[in-house]
Amino acid sequence: MKDKLDTLIDFYEAEKSRLLQLIDSCVKEEEYQLAHFHQRALYQLNGKLQTLKNINDKFHDEKSFISRRISNLEKRIGGESSAAMIEYYLKEIESAKKELEKLIYQSNKTDSTEDKLILNKALSDLIDKKVKSIKLILKRTDNLLLEFKYRNKILKVTLPFVKRHLKSYTLYEGKINKLKRYGFELQYNDSKLVLQLGGDKEKLMNKLTIILSKIIFEVFYFKEFENESYIEINGKASS
């Protein structure tokens, strides 16, 4: 999985370089409308890259922020004449580098596959009718969750309390529209978003994995769910 992710990141990085070259070329030739078109594509691509890099490494954002801070401090030293300020910047750089080293160490130790395996096992048991239903609580404090049920070879995924989430701004129209593009429909007097998936078990699991990744990394910002998420499994299904 990680090898595929790295390959995809490399592909997008190459595409990013290509778009930057196109934008530069368009600006030089005063093709501003075309440059704007490529800029929009670059903006979308950067969003996908950030998502993929955070899937690959949950400390990516923090490491990027510290790296930029170090770079900015080093630039300031180049234009600084005060010995006291240079000493201050050097201490700040040293502190930032130590913090970065800690995050790199944590990145190498962290492995989130266990959580994914737990969810995949629970969903597999649901499809095999070993359990009745599953709740994936995304954000406990907002009661934001997904319910999974499997019946008549159809997997039903429900996001309840839509009206409540709209009032609290946990959801808004833009997020709902994204969920609709993934196949969700507003039902029960617009109080629930419901997705129904069919197919054999392998295809079903693959579809669901993609959709859940999009929900967690594109509809929401996955770090909202840190220390807020857990799985509830509702008993054994009747045979």
Higher pLDDT residue, 69 or 217? Answer: 69
The domain segmentation of the chain, as residue ranges, is 2-109, 113-236
Structure tokens that stand for 135 in this block: 């709740």
pLDDT at 239: 42
The first and second tokens of residue 235, run together, are 């008993």
Q: Tens digit of pLDDT for each residue in 196-235?
A: 999 888 889 888 888 888 898 788 877 788 888 899 998 7
For helices 60-78 and 83-109, angle between their N-to-C axes, nearest 10 degrees? 160
Q: Is domain 113-236 given the CATH code 3.10.590 in the classification?
A: no
Residue 113's pLDDT is 52
Q: How far is CA 225 from CA 138, 149, 216, 232, in A?
A: 6, 22, 9, 16
Distance, in Å, from the CA atom of 213 to the CA atom of 198, rounded to the nearest integer, reads 18
Q: Are residues 150 and 122 in contact, defined by beta-carbon separation less than 8 angstroms? A: no
Buried b (16+ CB within 10 A) or exposed e, 192-203: bbbbebeeeeee
pLDDT value, residue 91? 95
Is the confidence at residue 90, as pLDDT, over 50? yes
Question: In Å, how far are 112, 155, 196 from 121, measured between CA atoms?
Answer: 15, 15, 20
Task: State the pLDDT at residue 238.
Answer: 46
**Binning pLDDT at 50, 70 and 90, where does residue 151 land?**
very high
Point out the least confidently predicted range of 25-34, 71-80, 116-125, 177-186.
Answer: 116-125
Predicted confidence at residue 166, as pLDDT, reads 96
Question: Whole-prediction pTM value?
Answer: 0.64
Q: What is the DSSP code string of 108-134?
A: HH--THHHHHHHHHHHHHHHTTSEEEE
